[in-house]
Amino acid sequence: MFTEVLQRLGLNAVNSGTRGLTSIDQPTGSRFASVNPATGTTLATVVGTGEADYEQIVAGASRTFATWRTWPAPRRGEVIRQLGQALRQHKADLGLLVTLETGKILSEGEGEVQEMIDMCDFAVGLSRQLHGLTIASERSAHRMFEQWHPLGPVGVITAFNFPVAVWAWNAALAAVCGDVIVWKPSPQTPLTAVAVQKICDRVMADNNCEGLFNLCVGDVSIGERMAADRRLPLISATGSCAMGCRVAATVAGRLGRSLLELGGNNAVIITPQANLDLALRAVLFSAVGTVGQRCTTLRRLIVHESLADSFATKLRQAYASILIGDPWQPGVLLGPLINDRAVTQMLAALDNARQQGGEILCGGRRLDRPGFFVEPTLVSAHANMPIVREETFAPILYLLTYRDLDEAIAIQNSVEQGLSSAIFTDSLTEAETFLSARGSDCGIANVNIGTSGAEIGGAFGGEKDTGGGREAGSDAWKAYMRRQTCTINGGRELPLAQGVRFEIPTT
Ligand code: UN1
């Protein structure tokens, strides 16, 4: 069954991870195994991008940009419309491949492909709405306006946990904005990247825009080259805070732009005014979904002290009922972690939690079976324990208590990351306080919705150590363009701004 899926997506036992304008038949980089984390077996191998291959890709991307930027934006949108159609046709296969390579359950694998399709639809509409402002000039017969031009080839570095959706956030927008895309996927998930690139290859060939989408499979060294490469005016990077710091410093060193979507340490506050059934379902999805490997995963549950014991009991019951198993099987809600290292990191975090005074309420063990399976884990903890302030990419939920809403908000805001946050309450006053300027300090703040599973229509990203970038919806497209302020003098005089006089003396 799995072999047929790979075949339908045009994948072989060994695949080239270098694709784009150049036809590099024999890439020279090292080999990356695509491993099914549910079994530990290799699905296929991808040959990475060598130094010379990289050079060809980026030089080609610069050449393609010179023509792609001249296409009218709605025509660029038509290419993305066709990409969305091609993704629709391959949704089931690509969704299953995401499941096989990342271990997320099938519904989430397909949801990720849906997120790509939604992004394409959004970008098609946007291709007719790259609006600039008209601005009132202080000078008579003058007109000021802003226009937005394509920026250049952009580098997109993505993480394993959303191996294709986050690429689409960037690539669909960048393409309609007139940019060319050079993508470095996570070396953990090279196969979905090759599959998506092959779909792109067909759409590009049909539209005579080969070289618009480019792929460089590689490890951190390719990412470092991209960050230092002046031919890539924007680097969009998703991953850990440590990775983001390195990328940001290198890109800033050449005065380039970076768009960062880094770690989260997301919290939900549950007040005595909350609908607890709603809260329980939301907490489960946000804390356990994707095996706790979303940047939006719920990591800290801040419950009013009057509810803490009863809610913990309900959560333990719910955790016990979760079916763990092969992520492609119906009914399974929890697949494996991405690799052995992730399991080790989770167990180390739990050791730290115990040493720092935490108590494991349920879960905490690795399962005795092939692959990288763990139990979803609840830990009773305190907000100031160092481990609670760290992001561990695993299904660990720390339970914290509070007395009044100000304290809950202070706990919520006390960590260095600032991605996603939520409150469960039916009190308008509590909800509005949470959303006010003295409320959540995160880029995403929800009421009666969990921290994860954002729609693409909003701008996605966070503050503080999350990096400050915004991707996907709203006006996130502006990051992929350069703004030009234009002033036209339609008169016969030359008045200067601010009333400055600079007359040439008449002799
Ligand atoms: C990520 O984990 O990097 O809001 C992105 C969500 C998804 C995106 C997560 N739409 O959970």
CA distance linking residue 309 with residue 305, whole number of Å: 8
pLDDT confidence tier of residue 21, bands split at 50, 70 and 90: low
Centroid of ligand 1 to alpha carbon of 220 (angstroms): 22
The finding on whether 40 has its CB within 6 A of some atom of ligand 1 is no
pLDDT at 177: 98
pLDDT confidence tier of residue 502, bands split at 50, 70 and 90: very high
The finding on whether 296 has its CB within 6 A of some atom of ligand 1 is yes
Which residues contact residue 476 at a Cβ distance below 8 angstroms, ignoring those fewer than 6 apart?
169, 173, 459, 460, 461, 470
CA distance linking residue 82 with residue 208, whole number of Å: 13
pLDDT at 20: 73
Asked if 176 and 48 count as a contact pair (C-beta separation under 8 A), the reply is no
Residue type, 153: P
pLDDT at 29: 81
- Given a cut of 80, whether residue 196 has pLDDT beyond it is yes
What residue owns the CA closest to ligand 1's atom 7?
A: 453
The finding on whether 472 has its CB within 6 A of some atom of ligand 1 is no
- Given a cut of 70, whether residue 440 has pLDDT beyond it is yes
CA distance linking residue 350 with residue 371, whole number of Å: 20
Do you know the residue count of the chain?
507
Predicted model pTM: 0.97
pLDDT per position as a tens digit, 420-436: 999 999 999 999 999 99
pLDDT at 507: 75
- CATH code for 2-262+467-484? 3.40.605.10
3-class secondary structure, 133:
coil
Rounded mean pLDDT of 277-287? 98
Test site for ligand 1: of 460, 466, 471, most ligand atoms within 8 A of the Cβ: 460
pLDDT at 75: 98
The finding on whether 104 has its CB within 6 A of some atom of ligand 1 is no
CA distance linking residue 475 with residue 17, whole number of Å: 32
Test site for ligand 1: of 452, 456, 466, 470, most ligand atoms within 8 A of the Cβ: 452
User: What's the mean per-residue pLDDT of the chain?
Assistant: 96
Q: Is there a catalytic annotation at residue 261?
A: yes
pLDDT per position as a tens digit, 299-357: 999 999 999 999 999 999 999 999 999 999 999 999 999 999 999 999 999 999 999 99
Residue tagged active-site, from 295, 375, 391, 430: 295
Centroid of ligand 1 to alpha carbon of 258 (angstroms): 19
CA distance linking residue 347 with residue 366, whole number of Å: 8
Do the two domains 2-262+467-484 and 266-455 of this chain adopt the same fold? no
- Given a cut of 90, whether residue 28 has pLDDT beyond it is no
pLDDT at 298: 98
Atom of ligand 1 nearest to the CA of 296: 11
Please name which of 337, 332, 328 lies closest in space to residue 366, comparing C-alpha atoms.
337
pLDDT confidence tier of residue 506, bands split at 50, 70 and 90: confident
pLDDT per position as a tens digit, 387-409: 999 999 999 999 999 999 999 99
- Given a cut of 90, whether residue 27 has pLDDT beyond it is no
The finding on whether 164 has its CB within 6 A of some atom of ligand 1 is no
- Given a cut of 80, whether residue 295 has pLDDT beyond it is yes
Atom of ligand 1 nearest to the CA of 297: 11
Rounded mean pLDDT of 164-180? 98
Centroid of ligand 1 to alpha carbon of 334 (angstroms): 17
Domain boundaries, the chain: 2-262+467-484, 266-455
Residue tagged active-site, from 101, 261, 391, 430: 261
Atom of ligand 1 nearest to the CA of 420: 4
Asked if 480 and 461 count as a contact pair (C-beta separation under 8 A), the reply is no
The finding on whether 160 has its CB within 6 A of some atom of ligand 1 is no
The reply to whether CATH 3.40.309.10 applies to domain 266-455 is yes
Rounded mean pLDDT of 185-204? 97
The finding on whether 15 has its CB within 6 A of some atom of ligand 1 is no
CA distance linking residue 140 with residue 381, whole number of Å: 66
pLDDT at 22: 57
The finding on whether 166 has its CB within 6 A of some atom of ligand 1 is yes
Rounded mean pLDDT of 467-482? 98
pLDDT confidence tier of residue 23, bands split at 50, 70 and 90: low
pLDDT at 70: 98
Q: Please, is 209 exposed, middle or buried when counting C-beta atoms within 10 Å of its C-beta (0-12, 13-18, 19+)?
A: buried
pLDDT at 1: 66
pLDDT confidence tier of residue 12, bands split at 50, 70 and 90: very high
